[in-house]
Amino acid sequence: MTPSWRKPAGAFAIVALIIIWCVAVASLSRIVGEWPVLIQLVFYVFTGIVWILPLKPLLLWMETGRWRVPKD
């Protein structure tokens, strides 16, 4: 069985996604730092969860080569 090139490419994409997301959120820290603490908490919890959403199709592509589950 020959290893697929999609797994290393997908792993690289996941790392790139995390780095880009961290830079984007961190660039807003000066603005967010002026908000009330509870609003900051909501913002950081939300942004800490949202980056996971693109992972499902990416992981599916890494395993199957398709971006969506085929409809039967």
Give the pLDDT of residue 25: 94
For residue range 16-72, what is the model confidence (pLDDT) as tens digits?
999 999 999 999 999 999 999 999 999 999 999 998 988 989 999 888 888 887 776
Is the CB of residue 34 less than 8 Å from the CB of residue 27? no
Q: How far is Cα 64 from Cα 58, in angstroms, rounded to an integer? A: 10
Give the pLDDT of residue 65: 82
Shortest CA distance to 62 belongs to which of 9, 2, 3? 9
Give the pLDDT of residue 14: 94
Is the CB of residue 43 less than 8 Å from the CB of residue 35? yes
Is the CB of residue 30 less than 8 Å from the CB of residue 40? no
Would you mind telling me the total number of residues written for the chain in this entry? 72
Give the pLDDT of residue 43: 96
DSSP 8: H
For residue range 4-19, what is the model confidence (pLDDT) as tens digits?
889 999 999 999 999 9
